[in-house]
Amino acid sequence: MDKPVIFQGDRLEEEYKDVKSQWVGLLFWQESKNNVLEHTTIKNSIIGLRADSLADVKLFGCQISNTGSAGIIGRHASIHGENCLLFNNGSYGMQLTYGGNYLFNYCTVGSYEGQDEAVILTDFYCEDILCCSLNGCLKLNKLNATLNNCIFSGSGFDEVGISQANENDNDFNYLFNNCAFRVNDLVDPKNTPDFFDHCDNCINIKSNDKLFLSVSKDNYQLDTMSVVLGKGKFLSNVLKDILGKTRKPVPDIGCFEF
């Protein structure tokens, strides 16, 4: 972890260190298997990482930042992430679409740029935006998503997006366990009023709640008064945080243990 793998653009001058969209990003095409990224930094790209249909990717202790578009895009893929940090993404932090299988433990997503949510879950995509309401153009796939001890924060009223096209609820499965997020309009009757039925011991972050040390300085370690301290659920298979610090028996939420 003290010598991370770094993917970035080839312009290494000081004036390019924070310029977005200098290169495309990491793309894992259809059915690409056995992909593992450990202590990997992806930055200054258009997207951070995209896993396409039936590809699988595992991420451990990774950072994805300063992207022009989404940090992670999953499209009918399998993605497993632990102790990952995503911030300064121009679009969604995690864009998990067209179904798939997703498991994220102890991840932090700071979405303080743009208008899109920190995480969005969908079970569809449109082949043609002009006829996307028609069965012939709307493609569906089953969604299974579990998010444990994760933070989804940002400057918007809603930092979680849920969009279900399949009327069969058995094909749209998601669960937030001991997560912290901001939601407001999402739970309106016309949107996803049963959202909290899919949450266990979660925290709906208020605008005046303490959370990180300094968003303006891209420091997403936890503040001494952070509302997520001691609010996580112990996971026996994840005993360290992103910096290698031992998790407490009652851990903190997010990629950093206080």
Q: Which residues pair with 82 in a beta bridge?
A: 60, 105
pLDDT tens, position by position, 190-246: 999 999 999 999 999 998 999 999 999 999 999 999 999 999 999 999 999 999 999
Decide if 225 is inside a domain: no
HEC letters along the chain: CCCCEEECCCCCCHHHCCCCCCECCEEECCCCCCEEEECEEEECECCCEEECCCCEEEEECCEEEEECCCCEEEEEEEEEEECCEEEEECCCCEEEEEEEEEEEECCEEEECCCCCCCEEEECEEECCHHHCCCCCCEEECCEEEEEECCEEEECCCCCEEEECCCCCHHHEEEEEECCEECCCHHHCCCCCCCHHHHEECCEECCCCCCCEEECCCCEEEECCCCCCCCCCCCCCCCCECCCCCECCCCCCCCCCCC
What phi and psi, each to the nearest 5 degrees, are found at residue 130?
-75, -20
Give residue 125's pLDDT. 87
Residue 194 has a CB neighbour count (10 Å cut-off) of 9
Q: Which domain holds residue 170?
A: 5-207
Structure tokens at 148: 């444990």
Within-domain flag for 257: no
Q: Quick one: pLDDT at residue 136?
A: 62
Asked if 230 and 194 touch (Cβ cutoff 8 Å), the reply is: no
pLDDT of amino acid 129: 63
214: in domain: no
Is 229 part of any domain?
no
Mean pLDDT of 90-117: 96
Residue 82 belongs to a domain: yes
**Interval 120-137: pLDDT, tens:** 999 998 866 666 665 567
Residue 165 one-letter amino acid: A
Is residue 250 a part of any domain in this protein? no
- Compute CA distances 230 → 106, 206, 222, 252, whole Å: 13, 18, 11, 5
In a domain, 228, yes or no: no
pLDDT of residue 132: 64
Predicted model pTM: 0.95
The reported pLDDT for the residue numbered 139 is 87
Question: Maximum CA pair distance of the chain?
Answer: 53
Confidence of residue 115 (pLDDT cuts 50, 70, 90): confident
Confidence of residue 114 (pLDDT cuts 50, 70, 90): confident
- Is it the case that residue 141 has pLDDT exceeding 60? yes
Q: Distance of CA 3 to CAs 13, 40, 63, 84, 255, Å? A: 21, 9, 13, 16, 18
What is the number of domains present in the chain?
A: 1
Residue-wise pLDDT for 23-76, tens only, equals 999 999 999 999 999 999 999 999 999 999 999 999 999 999 999 999 999 999
pLDDT in tens, 66-80: 999 999 999 999 999
Is 231 inside any structural domain?
no
